[in-house]
């Protein structure tokens, strides 16, 4: 059973470009969470999605960031007009259910560098 | 607002010593998960504790969830150089009527075990 997959593992963008990060959850998991880990900081929740629905985006910056989890295909975190402060590791996690007692399994992350 | 205080932030010990990492909060959690993260990789789940007072053992690692489900500890017996890494605690809380597992992470403990 394959784990959570993320691609690309490393992404370099120039200021003003768009970054698209992809996440394929574990087989059988329909709940996806995105977290961001800034240098020298801990992981911070960004958004929680189910298929075709955004459930909680309270951790997402108000501008330039968006996320989706379509009926078919991976979940995508999109960052428009990237700035240097967006440089970070972005992790996706998935779980089979949405209860607070459920374990989340993390992918290897995408490391975004903005030049 | 930092809901999970993890301590110590850094721990440097000799092989064979014992150590304890603490995770404390004023909030009640539905579950508490411990992860280990290697440089350049995503967090890897060690254990999930759900019940207040629960104790789980994983070889030389012992995890405890506080009776009130507000705190947790990780104890490592006879540490080995292979235990070196970043240890993270993360709590999931039910959010007023909507139960889902958005994780709040502690700041992490960087453990170094010297041979």
The answer to whether the beta carbons of residues B65 and B24 sit under 8 Å apart is no
Say which DSSP state B26 is in: S
Q: Is the pLDDT of residue B89 over 80?
A: yes
Nearest CA in chain A to B33: A103
C-beta atoms of B99 and A102 within 8 A:
no
The answer to whether the beta carbons of residues B91 and B31 sit under 8 Å apart is yes
Tokens coding B65: 């969830």
C-beta atoms of B29 and A101 within 8 A:
no
Q: Which residues of B touch A90 (CB under 8 A)?
A: none
Evaluated on CA atoms B69, B34, B78, B15, the torsion sign reads: negative
Q: Which of B30, B100, B105 is nearest residue A48 as measured by Cβ atoms? A: B100
The answer to whether the beta carbons of residues A38 and A88 sit under 8 Å apart is yes
Instruction: Name A72's Cβ contacts closer than 8 Å, sequence gap at least 6.
Output: none
Q: Which residues of B touch A29 (CB under 8 A)?
A: none
Nearest CA in chain B to A98: B100
The answer to whether the beta carbons of residues B29 and B101 sit under 8 Å apart is no
Tokens coding B107: 């700041």
Q: Which of B29, B48, B94 is nearest residue A103 as measured by Cβ atoms? A: B48
Q: Which of A43, A48, A100 is nearest residue B105 as measured by Cβ atoms? A: A43
Average pLDDT, chain B: 90
* pLDDT at B94 (0 to 100): 63
Q: Is the pLDDT of residue B2 over 60?
A: no
The answer to whether the beta carbons of residues A11 and B68 sit under 8 Å apart is no
Say which DSSP state B95 is in: B
Q: Which residues of A touch B40 (CB under 8 A)?
A: 111
What is the rounded (10 degree) CA torsion for B52, B56, B61, B66? 10
Hey, how many other C-beta atoms are within 10 angstroms of the C-beta on A12? 13
Q: Longest Cα pair distance anywhere in chain A, in angstroms?
A: 40
pLDDT digits (tens, 9 = 90+) for A86-113: 999 999 999 887 665 678 899 999 999 9
* pLDDT at A99 (0 to 100): 62
C-beta atoms of B102 and A56 within 8 A:
yes
Which of the residues in chain A have pLDDT under 70? 1, 98-101
Q: Which residues of A touch B35 (CB under 8 A)?
A: 106
Say which DSSP state A83 is in: -
pLDDT digits (tens, 9 = 90+) for B27-69: 888 889 999 999 889 999 999 998 899 999 999 999 999 999 9
Q: What is the CA radius of gyration of chain B?
A: 14
């Amino acid at each position: 059973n394959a784990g959570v997959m993320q691609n690309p593992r490393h992404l370099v963008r120039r200021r003003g470009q768009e970054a698209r990060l992809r996440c394929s959850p574990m087989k059988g998991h329909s709940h996806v969470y995105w977290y961001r880990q800034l240098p020298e900081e801990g992981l911070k929740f960004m958004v929680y999605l189910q298929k075709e629905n955004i459930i909680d985006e309270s951790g997402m910056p108000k501008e330039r960031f968006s996320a989706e989890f379509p009926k078919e295909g991976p979940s995508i975190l999109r960052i428009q007009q990237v700035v240097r402060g967006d440089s970070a590791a972005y992790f996706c996690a998935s779980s089979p259910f949405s209860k607070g007692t459920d374990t989340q399994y993390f992918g290897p992350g995408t490391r975004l560098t903005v030049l | 607002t930092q809901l999970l205080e993890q301590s110590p932030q850094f721990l440097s010990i000799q092989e064979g010593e014992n150590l304890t990492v603490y995770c404390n909060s004023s909030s009640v959690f539905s579950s508490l998960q411990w992860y280990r993260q290697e440089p350049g990789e995503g967090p890897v789940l060690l254990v999930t504790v759900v019940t207040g007072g629960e104790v789980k053992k994983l070889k030389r690692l012992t995890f405890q969830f506080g009776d009130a489900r507000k705190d947790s500890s990780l104890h490592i017996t006879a540490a080995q150089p292979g235990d070196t890494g970043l240890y993270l605690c993360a709590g999931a809380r039910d959010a007023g009527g909507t139960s889902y597992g958005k994780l709040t992470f502690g700041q992490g403990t960087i453990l170094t075990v010297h041979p």
